[in-house]
Amino acid sequence: MHITQLNRECLLHLFSFLDKNSRKSLGKTCHNLLEVFQDPLLWSLLNFHSPAELKKDNFLLGPALKYLSICWYSERVKVCNIEDWMKNNFQKDFCNRHENTVSDFLLEVCNRCPNLLSLTLSGCGHVTDDCILLLLKNCPNLKTLKLENCVRITDQTLEAVTHYGGSLQTLHVDFCRNITQTGLEKVREKCPLVMLRAERSANMIPDNKPQKKVMLEKALRKVVQL
């Protein structure tokens, strides 16, 4: 029996065991398998392991997407975590190559995936509060939001959760150093049913621009003198 003689349900089941590249390759072999590759039911879950994968054409993005994960665990993530004003030219050049990659992709998700239920971002150091705000607005059914080591995420995201995260059940903001205890308390107060976790976030040292650091040092000197 040839694979193309299987019914659509069986083919979708077989495709579900393949990674994105293998699905794309198999879809190129004949028209029938290409139709299976393009079936929205095959793309309810997407996992990416680097920003570079987001630019490939080996997947479909549409209303069927329910679960999305972009987790980058490379050592290069450390470069993205450096404060912008502390980066040297080499580090700036490295970040410029992919600075908007994840954010642009998430904007596409906002426009094309209104039924998203779960989003996990790890090591996405250039994702901003504005991006998460738009996602919360455009994906009203979002139940799980997990942010790990996303250094540009601040209390503005927590504030957005209290306004637009009506369906949210789980919120993780682990290793997000610009999250504060005050922001976390507001979420606990306004969204008591949300399972909130903030491992190594509010206790970390937040980013401060150089002029702010100087002001803090002067204030400390005055306190010491008094």
Q: Which fold has domain 44-224?
A: 3.80.10
- The residues spanned by each domain of the chain are 1-42, 44-224
What number of other Cβ atoms are within 10 A of residue 203's Cβ? 10
221 pLDDT above the threshold of 80:
no
pLDDT of residue 172: 97
* Top CATH class, 1-42: mainly alpha
Q: How does the average pLDDT of the chain come out, rounded?
A: 91
Classify strands 170-174 and 144-148 as parallel, antiparallel or unpaired: parallel
Residue 57, class by beta-carbon neighbours within 10 Å (0-12 exposed, 13-18 middle, 19+ buried)? exposed
Query: Residue 186: which pLDDT band, with cuts at 50, 70 and 90?
Result: very high
- Cα separation, 18 vs 35, in Å, equals 16
- Cα separation, 63 vs 65, in Å, equals 5
pLDDT of residue 75: 87
Using a pLDDT cut of 70, give the percent of the chain over it.
92
